[in-house]
């Protein structure tokens, strides 16, 4: 009798562990791999990049988007609404499959949308658990949906190419979770990759179709939640280095003697900030330690001895400091964006001073004096000491 009761109890328990009453078949799901948000005529435009499962064959296979057929492996669907969620519901209404956002890798925000404030879009991403807060975020030049539909020949989807570009740019790319955290953190302003379409090759004779490629062309800077401006050019990599976010930073240095240039690549770097405060006078000491190598020498400068290397490191230090100062000038004086987190550093290291200064930080930040100290080490000059292909008589020696 005891065995019968035990068997009956186990049977009852097992009934609660079986069944798939809430299952959704994979054939009924549309996988969203990237999305865009734009502002258009006072409405919100949501654009979704949806994978086409039937076109996901390998390269060269029949029907493969990257293969011989050349068909796209995704399609875009876009609708406008009074809110972003409202626009997404309209997209769902015209889709035969249930939209799934669990595999979204990137979120692109149009520049016009960002100028109105990016905090207005965050609620819909956090409220529904299916949404991934690990999606990477970037700002686009012009409408975001045009970037999402651009050519990405090296990847299956433009969203995947954008994700790889952002992973190459910084050590810790900005995710939705980190974006929300930075917006709520005092003493630091958000900075996001700025993406645009750039000409891939010069226009060929008789080729009327212009070839463009997706590129990260700068940093979108914010003051609070509002878009403030764009940092472009060589200062971008140096400002990323100052943020402790640079994976690699190249510096082109004029030859210390003679003509030509020497290119250095710094692949290891560490930056520490130390505030010195006297009343309302704030000095931020920025100490930079970086290690790198010579990747090109098209000058007549011989790198074969220690004295020459020391002088090269000094010249590289001057160039690095000049580029950082140029970027800081735009951050402090032009855009008033504390992207390096000077305020956060004061909050962490001198909390009493921060309590006194925080209500006037917008006024004080442009006046912060920055002292930059560098300690650069060129540890590798490559396989040759002297400029390759030049005779000794052409070289400059000190």
Alpha-helical regions (H) of the chain? 2-15, 84-93, 111-115, 122-127, 144-148, 158-169, 176-184, 235-242, 306-329, 342-349, 351-357, 361-364
Crossing angle, helix 235-242 and helix 306-329, to 10 degrees? 90
- Cβ contacts of 200 within 8 Å, gap of 6 or more: 211, 212, 213
Residue 393 pLDDT exceeds 50: no
Share of the chain above pLDDT 90, in %: 60
Is the pLDDT at 395 greater than 60? The verdict is no
The pLDDT-based confidence of 59 (bands split at 50, 70, 90) is very low
Output DSSP code: residue 301.
Answer: B
Question: 191-199 and 261-278 as β-strands: parallel, antiparallel, unpaired?
Answer: unpaired
Q: What is the pLDDT of residue 80?
A: 95
For 220, 241, 245, the CA distances from 269, given in Å and listed in that order, are 23, 7, 9
The token duo for 14 is 């097992």
pLDDT tens profile 32-53: 999 999 999 889 999 999 998 7
- The yes-or-no verdict on residue 1 having pLDDT over 90 is no
Q: Residue 397 has what pLDDT?
A: 52
The confidence score (pLDDT) of residue 7 equals 66
Quick one: pLDDT band at residue 61, thresholds 50, 70, 90?
very low
The reported pLDDT for the residue numbered 388 is 58
How, if at all, do strands 226-232 and 212-223 pair? antiparallel
Q: What is the pLDDT of residue 13?
A: 61
Task: Please determine, for residue 266, whether its predicted confidence score (pLDDT) is greater than 80.
Answer: yes
- pLDDT band (50, 70, 90) for residue 16: low
| pTM for this prediction | 0.86
Q: Report the pLDDT value the prediction gives residue 205, as an integer from 0 to 100.
A: 52
Residue 389 predicted with pLDDT over 60: no
pLDDT digits (tens, 9 = 90+) for 150-202: 888 788 899 999 999 999 999 999 999 999 999 999 999 999 999 999 887 77
Backbone angles phi, psi at 211, to 5 degrees: -95, 120
Domains of the chain: 26-232 (no CATH), 233-398 (3.30.300.210)
Query: What integer pLDDT is reported at residue 64 of this predicted model?
Result: 37
Tens-place pLDDT, residues 315-360: 999 999 999 999 999 999 999 999 999 999 999 999 999 999 999 9
pLDDT score, position 66: 38
Contacts of 383 (CB under 8 A, 6+ apart): none
* Top mean-pLDDT range of 72-81, 96-105, 274-283: 274-283
Estimate to the nearest angstrom the gap between the alpha carbon of 111 and the chain centroid: 15
Instruction: Determine the average pLDDT of the residues in 13-23.
Output: 60
Give the residue among 162, 334, 341 at the shortest CA–CA distance from 245: 341
SS3 58: coil
Helix/strand/coil for 35: strand
**Can you tell me the distance from the alpha carbon of 196 to that of 214, in angstroms, rounded to the nearest whole number?**
6
Mean pLDDT, the chain, integer:
86
| Distance of alpha carbon 66 from alpha carbon 68, whole angstroms | 7
CA quadruple 132, 136, 141, 147: dihedral sign: negative
User: In which band, very low, low, confident or very high, does the pLDDT at 8 lie, cut at 50, 70 and 90?
Assistant: low
Segments of the chain assigned E as strands:
29-40, 43-51, 74-81, 98-100, 106-110, 136-140, 191-199, 212-223, 226-232, 249-254, 261-278, 281-297, 369-380
235 phi/psi in degrees, rounded to 5: -70, -20
Banded model confidence at residue 305, pLDDT cuts 50, 70, 90: confident
**Rounded percentage of the chain residues whose pLDDT exceeds 70:** 84
Cα–Cα distance measured from residue 161 to residue 15, given in angstroms and rounded to the nearest whole number: 47
Measured from the Cβ of residue 373, the count of other Cβ atoms closer than 10 Å reads 12
Q: Per residue in 204-262, pLDDT tens?
A: 655 666 778 899 999 999 999 999 999 998 899 999 999 999 999 999 999 888 788 99
The pLDDT tens digits for 63-85 are 333 333 346 889 899 999 999 99
């Amino acid at each position: 009798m005891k065995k019968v009761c035990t068997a009956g109890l186990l049977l009852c328990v097992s009934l609660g562990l079986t069944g798939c009453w809430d299952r959704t078949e994979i054939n009924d799901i549309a996988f969203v791999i990237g999305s865009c948000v734009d502002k258009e005529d006072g409405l919100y435009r949501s654009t979704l990049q949806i994978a086409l499962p039937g076109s996901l064959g390998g390269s060269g296979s029949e029907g493969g988007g990257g293969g011989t057929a050349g068909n796209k492996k995704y399609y875009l669907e876009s609708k406008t609404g009074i809110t972003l969620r409202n626009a997404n519901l309209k997209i769902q209404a015209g889709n035969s499959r249930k939209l799934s956002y669990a595999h979204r890798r990137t979120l692109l925000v149009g520049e016009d949308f960002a100028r109105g404030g990016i905090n207005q879009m965050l609620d819909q991403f956090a409220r529904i658990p299916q949404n991934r807060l690990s999606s990477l975020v970037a700002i686009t030049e012009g409408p975001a949906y045009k970037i999402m539909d651009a050519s990405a020949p090296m990847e299956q989807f433009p969203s995947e190419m954008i994700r790889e570009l952002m992973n190459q740019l910084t050590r810790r790319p900005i995710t939705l979770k980190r974006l929300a955290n930075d917006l709520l953190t005092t003493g630091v302003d958000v900075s996001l990759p700025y993406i645009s379409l750039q000409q891939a090759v010069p226009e060929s004779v008789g080729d009327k179709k212009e070839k463009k490629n997706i590129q990260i062309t700068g940093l979108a800077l914010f003051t609070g939640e509002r878009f403030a401006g764009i940092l472009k050019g060589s200062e971008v990599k140096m400002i990323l280095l100052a943020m402790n976010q640079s994976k690699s930073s190249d510096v082109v240095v004029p030859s210390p003697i003679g003509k030509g240039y020497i290119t250095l690549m710094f692949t290891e770097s560490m930056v520490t900030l130390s505030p010195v405060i006297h009343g309302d006078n704030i000095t931020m000491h920025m100490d930079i330690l970086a290690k790198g190598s010579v990747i090109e020498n098209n000058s007549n400068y011989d790198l074969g001895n220690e004295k020459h290397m020391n002088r090269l490191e000094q010249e590289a230090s001057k160039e690095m400091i000049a580029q950082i100062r140029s970027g800081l000038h735009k951050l402090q004086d032009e855009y008033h964006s504390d992207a390096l987190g000077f305020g956060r550093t004061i909050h962490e290291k001198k909390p009493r001073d921060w309590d006194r200064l925080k209500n006037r930080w917008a006024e004080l930040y442009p006046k912060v004096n920055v002292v930059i100290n560098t300690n650069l080490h060129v540890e590798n000059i490559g396989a040759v000491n002297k400029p390759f292909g030049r005779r000794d008589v052409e070289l400059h020696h000190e």
